[in-house]
Chain A
Amino acid sequence: DIQMTQSPSSLSASVGDRVTITCRASQSISTYLNWYQQKPGKAPKLLIYAASSLQSGVPSRFSGSGSGTDFTLTISSLQPEDFATYYCQQSYSTPFTFGPGTKVDIE
């Protein structure tokens, strides 16, 4: 199985901050990498697919980059509604696997 790791596991930030979350795969996955946002009591929501493509309806302050084993999710200016947990997920091969998550909370 492809193992996914994320860093940091949690971070505190303020509204307006630029936030960067890193995801690393245990082997090269090209750009078969997706990012999800999950708020408490809710299902995960797709933000970014194929490493850098913004899902329809997702604000442009979210962006993704990377290929191979190292990927980044960036929130350019953190908004109050962005406080949540973020997960990466590889779709390169089955079994599909998720990262452990990065919790973004209010500083």
Chain B
Amino acid sequence: QVQLQESGPGLVKPSETLSLTCTVSGGSISSYFWSWIRQSPGRGLEWIGYVYYSGSTNYNPSLKSRVIISVDTSKNQFSLQLTSVTAADTAMYYCATYYYDNSAAGSWFDPWGQGTLVTVSS
């Protein structure tokens, strides 16, 4: 059973870069896609983007200019970098497995990590 765990600073200063890592256990990262999702009272659940183990990515256009999602297969980890953060980026950040079904049943997020709260404040 795949499990995910987010890690990273809980406090980031405005204009700086938010950096989080998700460690995958119980399975190889060299399968599936891997995603970041955030949740805040004002924005609800917001998909940030996903990365394939090969390194190919897909980002939410609303964040695309500030986001980099990368994968490190040697460590079974993937990471999120969000630049030039503001208070609006304060949120609970989740990593999740993005499962894509080739039989055209669609795609979904499962499982999710427990989440990590990131606050943007000076």
Is B40 an interface residue when CB atoms closer than 8 A count as contact? no
Q: Which residues of A contact B101 (CB under 8 A)?
A: 50
Tell me the complex Cα distance, A99–B58, Å: 21
B34 CB, min distance to chain A CBs, angstroms: 14
Is B26 an interface residue when CB atoms closer than 8 A count as contact? no
Select from chain A the residue with minimum beta-carbon distance to B6.
Answer: A43
Tell me the complex Cα distance, A94–B100, Å: 13
Contact with B along A86-104 (1 / 0, CB 8 A): 0101011011111011000
- Given known contacts A49-B105, A91-B106, is B47 in contact with A97 (CB within 8 Å)? yes
Tell me the complex Cα distance, A36–B96, Å: 13
Q: Which residues of B contact A31 (CB under 8 A)?
A: 105-106
Tell me the complex Cα distance, A87–B110, Å: 14
Tell me the complex Cα distance, A63–B42, Å: 29
Tell me the complex Cα distance, A87–B39, Å: 12
Tell me the complex Cα distance, A45–B60, Å: 22
Is B74 an interface residue when CB atoms closer than 8 A count as contact? no
B114 touches A43 (CB 8 A): yes
B47 touches A53 (CB 8 A): no
Tell me the complex Cα distance, A88–B117, Å: 23
Contact with B along A41-58 (1 / 0, CB 8 A): 011111001100101000
B25 CB, min distance to chain A CBs, angstroms: 16
Between A and B, 13 residue pairs with Cβ closer than 8 Å are A34-B108, A34-B109, A43-B94, A43-B112, A50-B106, A50-B108, A53-B105, A89-B108, A89-B109, A91-B106, A94-B58, A96-B47, A98-B45
Further pairs besides A42-B114, A46-B108, A91-B106: 17, Cβ < 8 Å: A31-B105, A33-B106, A34-B108, A43-B96, A43-B114, A44-B45, A44-B109, A45-B112, A46-B109, A46-B110, A50-B101, A55-B110, A87-B45, A89-B45, A94-B58, A98-B44, A98-B46
